[in-house]
Amino acid sequence: MAERRVNVGWAEGLHARPASIFVRAATAAGVPVTIAKADGSPVNAASMLAVLGLGAQGGEEIVLTSDAEGAEEALDRLAKLVAEGLDELPETV
């Protein structure tokens, strides 16, 4: 199982627009990914409601996981997106 631990780079956390950007990237990753708070239960990273339900705040650690083929690269891209708090999807997602 591939895993990435990363701090949320969006000041407002994973709410509204940042959550939408993340969910679109997770969906485009092409592999099933879960997301969780460091001490919480994992949820589907491609589900807007599930991601919003995490209530992840800016600076808080989250855990991205996947056991699919190609997961390492997908998690690297998603972790970078989250850590940098990007306002738009990068071209390589």
> Is 15 a known active-site residue?
yes
Name the β-bridge partners of 65: 3, 34
> Which position among 15, 32, 48, 50 bears the catalytic label?
15
CA dihedral 82, 40, 69, 10 (to 10 degrees): 0
Total residue count of the chain as it appears in this document: 93
Binning the chain into helix, strand and coil, the percentages to the nearest 5 are 35, 20, 45
Mind telling me the catalytic residues?
Answer: 15
